[in-house]
Chain A
Amino acid sequence: MISSILLKEWLKVKYFFIGVLALNIGVCLKIYFDIRGLILAEHPEMIWYEAIHLHNVFFKEIMFFPLVTGLILAAAQLVPEISRRRMRISLHLPLHRDWLLLLSVFTGLFFFLTVVGISAVLIYFTMRTWFPYEVSMTVLTTMGPWILAGILGYLGFTAVLLEPFKTRKVFLAIIFSVIVSAMYMGIGYGWLSPAMPYLVWLVPLFLLCVFESGHRFQQRGA
């Protein structure tokens, strides 16, 4: 049963997964070559000063890519299901609706985390090449809000796509956009770290929205 769901989700997203993975790796390579060029062109002390004192994040070009990745993966998973109401096929399977949605969402999040995980590791090694360990380690805390934005974007877009009522769709889209945009309100190494333990609680809340939209999707003629 689980392997069937995994098969279906993989078949839907495989080209998009490869696409966003290539896109993210491409951006990581650009960041690598940009920093390399900077180090070679300028005095290392200047770069150090920019990083530590001016909080210039050298890999900020990747900040919106986790969000774009989340949105693309959500669309890749949901559009084939909601177009021509094909999701009714899965909703009729001998499996509880919420369990079906949970498996689909977890599969999508697995693909998402694979992509952003690879990006984060590449950025970490890029930073580790020229910066001390302490600075390199901040890659994770700096990228944390962007990754969270991607997760929330993925869940929010999933809920919006499933939502059958237009007014509710718009309302959810506005709420989710505002919350996601909060992750981009500042920039700096680990700037949102103190709030992250609280912000991660948005994930289960967004997940509940997916279940609620899924429930309404089924009860409104799927």
Chain B
Amino acid sequence: MNAIEVHNLSHHYNGRNVYQDLTFTVPQGSICGLLGKNGQGKTTLVNILMGFLKPTGGRCLVLGENSHSLSPDVRKRIGLLHEGHQAYEFMTIAQTERFFRGFYPDWKPDIFYSLVKKMGLSHRHRVGNMSCGQRSQVVLGVIMAQNPDLLILDDYSMGLDAGYRRLFLDVLHDFAAMDGKTIFVTSHIVQDLEQLVDTIFFLDQGKITRTGLKEFLNSFKKYVFHSNKGALPLEDEVIKGIERRRDLFTVYSYHDCDTVTERLSRQGVEVRDLRRADMTLEDGFIGLMGKY
């Protein structure tokens, strides 16, 4: 069964096409990361999935229901982290717990307080007086205490230092280990997702590509070589991404070393010491999507 199904989704904003015929599914029990450069519509997609934006065309099903008319029963099963760790800043920690408790019959106060306790703050501390990291813990506590079936996290790493990001990942790992739980996450910190997701969606210029994390890291390769004369490498069907720092070039490709060398030579590029280098997900992301 799919936790999320998107069929032929189209959306345009101010005359600009954000998506055209976007189709993908997120199977139940999977941990999916949505990656894309700024402005490619990741938050817009989350907004559509949560019914905060009506798409121009197509259909989105979340836990079997149309995303722009989700019933309260389905919303109860979705833990949603809004971009910027949105929280009611006029509430204290205890008031936040009291407020959300009333809506969720399976509410687990011990989970909420165990996450909040790590900050060592009084329960009477106001959310508005917290740092971004502290607020993120309160929001995470709220989401986890709901015991949702589907987690949708919109850029959970925004404004968080390494410690809070790691804390988030620890909690998400524990959540993902439970049976049938699905996570759909976007983040600007791509290397964090490498430790969490099993499936990646690349969103680029209105199109979406799905791949397994391991499959991507095995098939997409990073090569480095030196060159200080001859032509500059160009992107084509073999060379997917190019980076340059002085005479050190990095190229990305789905092809093997020989094919890449041959293609570069054919482009008139002087290639010295070409070798395959270790590639992180962030490298792969830059190689595939580009820097800008």
Contacts and interface: CB of A to CB of B under 8 A. Distances in A.
Q: Are A and B genuine complex partners?
A: yes
Interface of A: 1-4, 7-8, 11-12, 80, 84-86, 88-89, 91-96, 218-222
Nearest to A13: B90
5 contacts: A4-B98, A4-B103, A11-B91, A91-B52, A93-B75
Interface in B185-206: none
Contacts of B82: 85, 88-89
B121 interface: no
B102 A89 contact: no
Given A92-B50, A94-B73, A7 B99 contact: yes
A215 B89 CA distance: 24
A92 B102 contact: no
A120 to B, nearest CB: 30
Interface of B: 44, 47, 50-54, 68, 72-73, 75-76, 78, 80, 82, 84, 86-91, 95, 98-104
Given A219-B68, A220-B53, 12 more contacts: A3-B102, A4-B99, A8-B99, A12-B90, A80-B89, A80-B90, A86-B89, A88-B86, A95-B72, A96-B72, A219-B54, A222-B53
Nearest to A15: B90
Contact of A4 (B52, B72, B73, B102): B102
A222 B169 CA distance: 28
A95 B103 contact: yes
A3 B100 CA distance: 11
A221 to B, nearest CB: 5
A219 B50 CA distance: 10
Nearest to B52: A222
A1 B98 CA distance: 10
Contact of A92 (B68, B75, B99): B75
